[in-house]
Amino acid sequence: MINNKKLVSMIFLMLLCLTACAPNEESVSIKERKKTDKSVTFLFNFTSATLDPHTDDNYTAVRGGVGETLVKINDDLKIKPWLAEKWETKDNGLTWTFMIRKNITFQNGKALDANAVKSSLQRTIDQSYAMKNALNIKEMKANSHALTITLKEPMPKFPSELVHPNTAIIDVNASNIAKKPIGTGPFRVLSFDQGNQVKLERYENYWGGKVKLKSAIFGFNEDANARVAALQSGTADIIYRPPLESLGTLQTDPSFKVSGVPSVRTHLLLYNQTNDALKDENVRKAIDTLLNRKEIVSSIMNNQAAAARGPFLPQFPFADSTANEQRGMTSAKKYLEKAGYQIKNDKAIKNGKPLSLSLVTYSSLPELPLIAQLIQSNAKELGITIKIHLVEDSDEYVMAKDDWDLALYSLITAPRGDASYYLSTNYLPGGGLNASRINDDTLTKMIEQLNSTVDDAKRDQLAKQATALINRKMLTSSIVHPNIVVAYNQKVKNWTTNPSEYYMLTQHLDVTP
């Protein structure tokens, strides 16, 4: 007969055997779970106050893989179908029919059809003055998966307007679009901490194929040094626009990879033409003459940029390169003299008043305040006083206020590989981004003719003429075309730095366990 002590010992040994076997099976499941429970933390350099894709000028919903547009742009800056599988026009761009892909659902399970697309585009028009002007839609008719759009006037390049992230298609009946938009993308919003981060999770029924990550964090931090510190400490996996002075360290560390590609972005100096002094093109030319673009590229941009001779990259067929060739202090003084100024006691004086200007910029692109300081220093030598003001939301500030004279600004000037959007929004009277309040009859006629022209060669020529006029009258100073620089942990796979800056968290993004 087995006594109690022996019985307890036997049971204990049996339990040990069972637990010894169990970890093998459990460890397999843990390993498998690790393969599927993958996540990344991405840090962007601008903060978002809203996730509403129709009003957010940070485009977080599209960049974060929540929303998608009818048309997208590839790495070669050519448009391609996305939620729309094809489109056509039979009257030179007045009426367009878009066929919406079938078997796509929103992240709440609702089916995507032409009526849902129509409602979303109508909301875009209602919410965004800039997009209302850009889309120029007269009416829309939905029939199953066919959406017919009639414009107020022919627009031969209309499909390219639907690349813009503010046209992302969402469920307009969602309860809280500002915090939790419902789109068709690979990730859906779990939570939004305004100004801090967006928590995302994989949408299991994504139409575009398997989503490799289970979750992601789209974080915001406007401090470039803090972003690189987060990458180095492991609290971030991918950071957008690290400080340029950190690239040498990151590139020599095998733990990280650095990706840099030419962008379609241009750093610009805007002139507020409600300022009497800046209405004179000679004053604008004097200030432009002080911009040593080569010095900016080498000393401030760490050679991660190209000097600009206009708003568009020179490889575009519509780019004009007839920039102001006059450089240096002597030329700048001549322009000021043409404008009626005299240099007295190191001050530029006209009608007894010194020339004093305010310049607004922002620190989300850390090179902009440095460029501002260079302009300020050079202008001081010329006798012009410039006061620098840092603002948080430069888009809203320069559009809503007139208490600025100069603005250092950065824009994606050819996001769809076409000149029309930038020229229309920035230089037409009432244009959604015409912060400088430009109203030039000759330029307006050129842009309107461009917008109604079908032939690509003629469009390129008209865009060149418009850009040449902008350069000649110095309506805007184009400074540099910065590279897009992204740094990420070597475990991150399938990251693509897109020149348009629209697509960041995708279904292909992956990490090694």
Q: Candidates 3.10.105.10, 3.40.30.10, 2.60.40.1170, 2.60.40.1260; correct CATH number of 265-483? A: 3.10.105.10
Q: Write down the pLDDT at residue 76.
A: 83
Q: Write down the pLDDT at residue 32.
A: 47
Give the confidence band of 454 by pLDDT, cuts at 50, 70, 90.
Answer: confident
pLDDT at 283 over 90: yes
b/e code 82-103 from CB counts within 10 Å (16+ = b): bbbeebebeeebbbbbbbbbee
Q: Write down the pLDDT at residue 30.
A: 39
Q: Write down the pLDDT at residue 75.
A: 85
| pLDDT tens profile 34-85 | 556 899 999 999 999 999 999 999 999 999 999 999 999 988 888 999 999 9
What is the average pLDDT across 118-144? 95
Give the confidence band of 357 by pLDDT, cuts at 50, 70, 90.
Answer: very high
Q: Write down the pLDDT at residue 441.
A: 97
| pLDDT tens profile 138-152 | 999 999 999 999 999
Written as one string, the DSSP assignment of 340-383 is T-EEETTEEEETTEE-EEEEEE-SSSTHHHHHHHHHHHHHHHHT
Q: Write down the pLDDT at residue 8.
A: 44
Contact 68/185 with Cβ under 8 angstroms? yes
Report angle CA 370, 373, 375 to the nearest 5 degrees: 115
Q: Write down the pLDDT at residue 3.
A: 52
Cβ contacts of 493 within 8 Å, gap of 6 or more? 509, 510, 511, 512
Cβ contacts of 147 within 8 Å, gap of 6 or more? 84, 97, 98, 100, 114, 117, 118, 140, 141
Q: Write down the pLDDT at residue 27.
A: 41
Give the confidence band of 432 by pLDDT, cuts at 50, 70, 90.
Answer: confident
Contact 186/449 with Cβ under 8 angstroms? no
What is the average pLDDT across 438-446? 97
Structure tokens at 370: 């440095």
pLDDT at 31 over 80: no
Cβ contacts of 273 within 8 Å, gap of 6 or more? 279, 436, 437, 438, 439
Average pLDDT taken over every residue of the chain: 91
Q: Write down the pLDDT at residue 64.
A: 98
pLDDT at 392 over 90: no
Rama region for 312: left / alpha / beta (φ>0; ψ in -120 to 50; rest):
beta
pLDDT at 433 over 60: yes
In the β-sheet with 84-89, what is the strand arrangement from edge to edge?
A: 84-89, 95-100, 146-151, 137-143
Coil, helix or strand for 249? helix
pLDDT at 11 over 60: no
Structure tokens at 42: 């991405």
Q: Write down the pLDDT at residue 417.
A: 80
Give the confidence band of 29 by pLDDT, cuts at 50, 70, 90.
Answer: very low
Q: Write down the pLDDT at residue 179.
A: 98
Q: Write down the pLDDT at residue 137.
A: 97
pLDDT at 17 over 60: no
Least confident of 107-121, 177-191, 317-331: 317-331
What is the average pLDDT across 215-227? 96
pLDDT at 33 over 50: no
Q: Write down the pLDDT at residue 364.
A: 84
Between 498 and 101, where is the model more confident? 101
pLDDT at 448 over 50: yes
pLDDT at 397 over 50: yes
- The residue behind tokens 């981004």 is 433
Q: What is the C-alpha to C-alpha distance for residues 496 and 261, in angstroms, rounded to an integer?
A: 10
Q: What is the C-alpha to C-alpha distance for residues 401 and 275, in angstroms, rounded to an integer?
A: 12
pLDDT at 9 over 80: no
Secondary structure letter of residue 203 according to DSSP: -
Q: Write down the pLDDT at residue 79.
A: 92
pLDDT at 395 over 90: no
Percent of the chain with pLDDT strictly greater than 90: 76
pLDDT at 10 over 90: no
pLDDT at 6 over 60: no
Give the confidence band of 244 by pLDDT, cuts at 50, 70, 90.
Answer: confident
Q: Write down the pLDDT at residue 323.
A: 65
